[in-house]
Chains A and B, each alone.
Chain A
Amino acid sequence: MKLPIYLDYSATTPVDPRVAQKMIPFLTEHFGNPASRSHAFGWEAEQAVEEARGHVAALLNADPKEIIWTSGATEGNNLAIKGAAHFYKGKGKHIVTMKTEHKAVLDTVRELERQGFEATYLDPQPDGLLDLEEFKAALRPDTVLVSVMMVNNETGVIQPIAEIGEICRAKGIIFHCDAVQAAGKIPVDLQKLKVDLLTVTAHKVYGPKGIGALYVRRKPRVRIEAQIHGGGHERGLRSGTLATHQIVGMGEAFRIAKLEIGAESERIRALRDRLLNGLKDMEEVYVNGDLERRIPGNLNVSFNFVEGESLIMAIKDVAVSSGSACTSASLEPSYVLRALGRSDELAHSSIRFTIGRFTTEEEIDYAVKLLRAKIGKLRELSPLWEMYKEGVDLNSVQWAAH
């Protein structure tokens, strides 16, 4: 077993060696510009791009013509949200989204607010899921766009996308879905789901960073305004020379995902359950978000009375991320967990484990053993644990907030 152990697959995944192999010839040999129509170099690059487009469409059960290449999820979310809002602004200027969305959605909606749009940010229920009644109540006659992610990046919970799609379609509202954490992990069927715009990216699915795709529905036709202008690539929706090797990588990654999703999900779920079973008998351990309606590879847990950043430091042989954003130089606890109604203490004590294709049982067992030892040690060091053990109600203490 090699250390450190990677349990942060929701942050990014390694490129599958099969994907890397497929990409290499497109850097050196088949380097042509897919937009070159005048020679074989261009033709073979174009053919590779279209083959990859087919693989991406196939995983989503979409038409290849509905797939637009982007540089990744942030661009995809920007293009979908700004593009649809700008195109349909004559119909209304109200947008509905959730407080637990990724920053690429939240900050884009904030930018639209600065441009004169209005936005409603819905709270999730304590299990992390959207309350559909509350959602319906938030829709207004001037609502033009809804953006709700399929799978939350921190808690891994799966939102009721089919139901949201039905509601939006009935009201003629454009529905964008950030499916970055869903593609390749749970089935995404765009023949069934009434999603109009859907964002995916390669590097969460064992493909390379720097390449993603936006699905833009053709039936019924959904329109967006381009955000990047230039040579009119991608039917004018996203100009810029296509990165053939990246696209080939994404195509191969999505092709493999479609083939292996079934067996892989089962294997990953078993590893996740093994991790949870190894931890859940400890005192004051809380799973954040619904455990059933969740992708197989995610476990987000709070170890009460242990601060998340110090735990991450203690288990430095295991690469995880803290729900608390301390590591990104902000001292605020996770806004996602706060939106779930978790106390600041529990939000400060959370760890996100995400398991993937190359995780082994041995690695999970090592992580469990290490975690149990370090949590014990940090609780011995924690004045809060001492007070809890003495029966002090921490909520009754007058803390000096700083």
Chain B
Amino acid sequence: MAYSDKVIDHYENPRNVGSFDKSDEHIGTGMVGAPACGDVMKLQIRVNAQGVIEDARFKTYGCGSAIASSSLVTEWVKGKTLDQAETIKNTQIAEELALPPVKIHCSILAEDAIKAAITDYRKKHGLEAEKQAKAA
């Protein structure tokens, strides 16, 4: 399968590889996918007092497109508020990386990873309950 230049670039020079301390209160961690399916993504965000994502890290087990998708979103979430980051759609990721149809699930997984990391952070700070209360 031929990969786009952007996939190859992210794959060969992945951005923001690594891990933050999961127990740190400023960190939100999202882990999505399953080894049996051939993809697991771990995405971590560090959020400052203003609710802005200051930094992000990832580790991914999966094909080149999965690695590129997660690398890309670590770049995209930086500097965004949680609410802004939450609006990132898999279609934007797929478009940016020119993913073929068979690899769209990689971009879906990356979107899920952002959402999972945000949810984890909010839970740590009791924000999830607050948000639900507001909605109700």
Seen from chain A, the residues whose Cβ lies within 8 Å of a Cβ on chain B are 305-307, 309-310, 313-314, 324, 326-327, 329, 331, 333, 343-345, 348, 380-386, 394, 399-402
Chain A residues closer than 8 Å to B31, beta-carbon distance: 383
Would you call B6 an interface residue if the criterion is a C-beta within 8 Å of the partner chain's C-beta atoms? no
Whether B64 pairs with A394 at a CB distance below 8 angstroms is no
Would you call B93 an interface residue if the criterion is a C-beta within 8 Å of the partner chain's C-beta atoms? no
Instruction: Say whether, besides A309-B64, A381-B17, A386-B19, A345 and B35 are in contact (CB < 8 Å).
Output: yes
Chain A residues closer than 8 Å to B34, beta-carbon distance: 399-402
Whether A310 pairs with B62 at a CB distance below 8 angstroms is yes
Would you call B61 an interface residue if the criterion is a C-beta within 8 Å of the partner chain's C-beta atoms? yes
Chain B residues closer than 8 Å to A327, beta-carbon distance: 1
Assembly CA distance A402 to B36 (angstroms)? 10
Chain A residues closer than 8 Å to B1, beta-carbon distance: 327, 329
Of the residues A329, A343, A380, A383, contact of B40 by C-beta under 8 Å: A383
Whether B36 pairs with A381 at a CB distance below 8 angstroms is no
Whether A381 pairs with B35 at a CB distance below 8 angstroms is no
Whether B38 pairs with A382 at a CB distance below 8 angstroms is no
Of the residues A380, A386, A401, contact of B36 by C-beta under 8 Å: A401
Would you call B85 an interface residue if the criterion is a C-beta within 8 Å of the partner chain's C-beta atoms? no
Name the residue on B nearest A394 (C-beta).
B35
Assembly CA distance A70 to B74 (angstroms)? 55
Would you call B37 an interface residue if the criterion is a C-beta within 8 Å of the partner chain's C-beta atoms? yes
Would you call B129 an interface residue if the criterion is a C-beta within 8 Å of the partner chain's C-beta atoms? no
Whether B64 pairs with A310 at a CB distance below 8 angstroms is yes
Chain A residues closer than 8 Å to B59, beta-carbon distance: 381-383, 386
6 further contact pairs, Cβ within 8 A, besides A343-B36, A386-B19, A386-B59: A309-B63, A310-B11, A310-B62, A310-B64, A331-B37, A344-B35
